[in-house]
Homo-oligomer: A and B are copies of this chain.
Amino acid sequence: MVHVVLDAMGGDNAPGEIIKGALGALDASPSVKITLCGKSEDIKAQLEGKTYPADRLLIEDASEVISTEEAPVMAIRRKKDSSIVKGMTLVKNKEADAFVSAGSSGAILVGGQLIVGRIRGVERPPLAPLIPSTTERGVSLLIDCGANVDARSSHLVQFAKMGSIYMEHVLGVKNPRVAIVNIGAEEEKGNMLVKETFPLLKNCPDINFIGSIEAREIPNGGADVIVCEAFVGNVILKMYEGVGKMILSTIKGALMSSTRGKVGGLLIKPSLKDVMKTFDATEYGGAPLLGLNGLVVKVHGNATEKEIANAIRQCETFKEQNISQRIADKIIIKDE
């Protein structure tokens, strides 16, 4: 049994879609238990008339909500009765295994560190979303996209280890290929951070390090685990979104400009939908914040039912595969 605390108040579609996702996940697996954390009245109103296994769906009342506009550290310190603080506290106290939220990224990152806490030896917990790529699994892990800007080389080495463990045991990728984002394929290329990190990764026995990866090769499936510091990771993630949107809207515009295009457009609509799916983050669940004493998963602010359900399924595998312990083993033994 995995016990997941779900932030019922986080994200653009809360609480409706969040709660629908919870019910879907309960339906899909008998070994999932969920605590909905948030304003109990709102939650109860949403549950009215629905059928669900009451013994596996609990409610934890939290009267406050942390908005995306609030300064994260301040919000986590002050809003003790918020869904994020209360939900994470359940994980910290080992009353639950995982916390899933579509709420403020900043608050989730800060709360993860301050409330749930890091595994001994982990210097910084990275946020690691799955991004579309032409690997066998159709995704690669981008690590770190979190708040760890200005990271040091030792952090990146830990990211590489944690990312490897995640891809191998949660995604089932055998001996995942680990690469560091660089501006050229040669070992001597790069900025100071990459030059310092490269030999450390090369000499790291726990991972299958394949060297540098240029950004162009990331969508092309050049590696399973893409290691970078958070600023670069953020740029990569958002370029996917930006370029994808731009191309698809350009195609749409081009098709609408001629009768021939319009007819063709109608015919290819189902195929284009498939393509959009490839770029649809809801397929991949959420992004785990790795290296904590319990799992924290950040899902998109505009997450819908399906994404929430997927994120919960991810928590199940994470627990089954004992990822936190695997990370603890690798980090403590090798780095201290």
Binding site for B on A (CB under 8 A): 132-134, 149-150, 181, 183, 190-192, 194, 214-220, 230-232, 234-248, 250-251, 254-255, 257-258, 260-261, 263-268, 270-272, 274-275, 278-279
Contact in complex: B191, A216 (CB < 8 Å): no
Q: What are 7 sample pairs from A and B whose C-beta atoms fall under 8 A apart?
A: A133-B246, A149-B190, A183-B231, A215-B239, A240-B243, A247-B248, A264-B264
Identify the closest chain B residue to A248 (Cβ).
Answer: B247
| A247-B244, A251-B272 as given contacts; A238 in contact with B216, CB under 8 Å | yes
Q: Check if A275 sits within 8 Å of B260, measured CB to CB.
A: no
Knowing A149-B190, A271-B264, A272-B254, the reply to whether A218 touches B231 (Cβ < 8 A) is no
With A and B bound together, what is the CA distance between A192 and B134 in angstroms? 34
Considering only CB atoms, which chain B residue lies closest to A261 in the complex?
B271
Residue pair B251, A261 in contact (C-beta under 8 Å): no
* CB–CB A270/B275 < 8 A: no
**Contact partner of A239 among B236, B257, B279, CB < 8 A?**
B236
Closest B residue to A132 by beta carbon equals: B246
Q: How far is the CB of A107 from chain B (nearest CB, A)?
A: 14
Q: In the complex, are the beta carbons of A235 and B251 less than 8 A apart?
A: no
Apart from A216-B238, A219-B239, A219-B245, what are 13 other A-B pairs with CB-CB below 8 Å? A183-B235, A214-B234, A215-B236, A218-B239, A235-B235, A235-B239, A251-B271, A251-B272, A260-B270, A261-B268, A263-B267, A264-B266, A264-B267
A-B pairs, top 3 by smallest CB distance, nearest first, are A264-B267, A215-B238, A239-B239
